[in-house]
Amino acid sequence: MKRTVFFISDGTGITAEALGRSLLAQFEGIQFELITQPYINNAEKAHKLVQLINQTAEKDGSRPLLIDTIVDQSIRSIISLSNAMTMDVFSTFLAPLEEELGAHSSYSVGKTHALTKEKEDTYKARIDSVHYALDNDDGARTHHYDQADLILVGVSRCGKTPTCIYMALQFGVRAANYPITEDDLLDSELPKALRPYRHKIFGLTIDPERLASIRNERRPDSKYSSLKQCIREVEEVENLYRRHRIDFIDSTHHSIEEISTRILSQAGIERRFSPR
C-alpha cells in the first residue's frame, strides 16, 4: 500500500514533519511518499496547494493525508476544501491545554522556532559542541579530552563520527571519538591517550559482516575490509571492553538517533538542551 502525506505549515514545517514522521513510523507495512510544504501563509498559496492535493488524490486513487500546523484560520478554511484526510496539530493539542491552563494561546506563527535569548544561548552551545566533535574526531587530537563529556571508542567504521556529531547537534554533548586500531588491540591495556579518561569512555561494536560491507565501500578487496579481519577486530575490541569494564552497545541494527539516546541513558550523561 502507498499513500501520499503532506506536511503543511505557515512556518518552517519542522514541527508538522517531526510529529508526522513519528506517527507514520508506526505503520511499517505502508509506503509513504512525504511532501513538505512550508510557508503556506496567504490565500494564493493555499489555493495552489489545494489544487496539488486534489491532483495527487486523483492520481493515487486515494486521498492524501495532511498533517498541518497552520495558525491562520482563513488559510485553514481554504485547505479544508481539499480532498484529504486532515490532522490539525495545533487545534488538537492547544484546545485541551487552554482548558487545563485557564489561558488562551497566542496562536502565533513561528513561535517554536523564533529566536529568543534562551535560543541564542542554545544555538551557541550547539555550534560549540559540533566544533568540539569535529576537532576531536578520529583521535586527531587527544589533549582536549579533559573537556569531553564522552569519548566514544570502537573499531574503524563502526559509526563513531556520525554518532558524536548527532549528540553534539541535538543535545549539546561534547563528544570526542577515538578509533581502536589493530596496533591498539595488540596490547591488553587501553591506548595511552585514553587511560586518564576511563570514566568518560563508551564503546561501540558492530556485526563483522556489516563492518566488512561498509569497509568494502571505502577500500574494496583489502585486508582492512576482509571478513576475517573484521571478525578478529570486533572480537578483540569487545574483549577489551569487557577487560576494562567499558559499557558498549551494538550499532548494527540501530539508527544514529537510537544509538545516541541509548549511550546518553546508559552513560548517565545529561543533555544540555532538548533536540530540535
For the chain, the C-alpha Rg in angstroms (whole number) is 24
Does the annotation place 276 within a ligand binding site? Answer: no
Query: Does the annotation place 160 within a ligand binding site?
Result: yes
User: Residue 91: which of 67, 60, 75, 69 has the closest Cα?
Assistant: 69
158 is in an annotated binding site: yes
Tell me how far apart the alpha carbons of residues 98 and 259 are, in angstroms, rounded to a whole number: 36
**DSSP per residue over 48-82, as a string?**
HHHHHHHHHHHHHTSPPEEEE----HHHHHHHTTS
d(CA 91, CA 99): 12
State the alpha helices, DSSP H only, in the chain: 14-24, 43-60, 73-79, 89-101, 117-135, 160-171, 208-218, 227-243, 256-267
**Is 111 annotated to bind ligand?**
no
According to DSSP, the residues that pair with 201 across neighbouring strands are 151
Q: Is 155 annotated as a binding residue?
A: yes
Say if CB 246 and CB 202 are below 8 A apart. yes
Q: How far apart are CA 76 and CA 74, in angstroms?
A: 5
CA distance 67 to 260: 28
Whether the CB-CB separation of 271 and 264 falls below 8 Å is answered with yes
Q: How far is CA 31 from CA 45, 122, 224, in A?
A: 27, 36, 37
Binding positions are 154-161
Annotated binding site for ADP: 154-161
